Amino acid sequence: MAMLDNKIGLVLGVANKRSIAWACAKACAAEGARMAFTYQAERLKETVDELAGTLNDSLVVPCDVSEQETLDAAIDAVKQRYGRLDFIVHSIAFAPKEALEGEFVNTSRDAFRMALEISAYSLTQVARAALPLMTEGGSIVTMSYYGAEKVVMNYNVMGVAKSALESSTRYLAADLGKDNIRVNAISAGPINTLSARGVRGMGSLLGYVGERSPLKRNVTADEVGNTALFLISDLASGITGETIYVDCGYHIMGI
């Protein structure tokens, strides 16, 4: 029997085949999971449809977390189709481009609010909306980054949002543990995706981290996907509220 046979998932954050969310979905599908996918905007629908179409019994629904009614409709569609939910991959983030370059001190109120709302609050928002469907326990996994705890040039307000996301992971884990729902974050090393390209200087960051990490390379989206599979599976049944680094060891290095 495969690790996720009879498990139903909701995957938020597939934009294209390079998305970390897609790597997570591939790993889970290989272990028997069936999944619903959300796309944020109409321009992404065709790509998400195509990717999800390669998997068994998938569902594709719109959801922009800044519009609560779209999330409610997505959860409703999952309920109609599958009747319940066992896991969630939350792999979404956004900050205005001008907030991801230059000095953090110049972050506008609007950019701060938007980054925190979409990149951090949405985890709590999605967990609450999905809770009635997670009747048999489950696992929620979100994506963080090292900029949550150390200053990374140009990452700026997204670092603050990731701090809030990791803290939210712990608070949610404490709340939802009684329902046998585990909540964990993966702190992934830099990967060349659509969102990553929005951070100024991403190319040189990849080079820097690749040279200095213990494994002397950058992590791949598939490695992050495999860790998400582990956290979702029963192999991680004793782990909750944790942030697991999948960064080729970069975060352990001092000088």
Ligand X SMILES: NC(=O)c1ccc[n+]([C@@H]2O[C@H](COP(=O)([O-])OP(=O)(O)OC[C@H]3O[C@@H](n4cnc5c(N)ncnc54)[C@H](O)[C@@H]3O)[C@@H](O)[C@H]2O)c1
**Residues touching ligand X, count (CB under 6 A):** 27
Is residue 146 part of the annotated active site? The answer reads no
Residues 44-83 that bind ligand X (CB under 6 A): 44, 63-66
Q: Is residue 191 a contact residue for ligand X (CB under 6 A)?
A: yes
Q: How far apart are CA 143 and CA 85, in angstroms?
A: 19
Q: How far apart are CA 131 and CA 180, in angstroms?
A: 11
Rounded to the nearest whole angstrom, what is the least distance from the CB of residue 26 to ligand X in the complex?
A: 13
Is residue 145 part of the annotated active site? The answer reads yes
Q: Is residue 156 a contact residue for ligand X (CB under 6 A)?
A: no
Rounded to the nearest whole angstrom, what is the least distance from the CB of residue 75 to ligand X in the complex?
A: 14
Q: Is residue 190 a contact residue for ligand X (CB under 6 A)?
A: yes
Q: Is residue 92 a contact residue for ligand X (CB under 6 A)?
A: yes
Under 8 Å CB-to-CB from 189, ≥6 apart: which residues?
146, 209, 213, 218, 219, 245, 246, 247, 248, 250
Q: Name which of 75 and 191 has its Cβ closer to ligand X.
A: 191
Closest CA to 10 of 131, 191, 170: 131
Rounded to the nearest whole angstrom, what is the least distance from the CB of residue 118 to ligand X in the complex?
A: 5
Q: How far apart are CA 98 and CA 57, in angstroms?
A: 40
List the catalytic residues: 145, 155
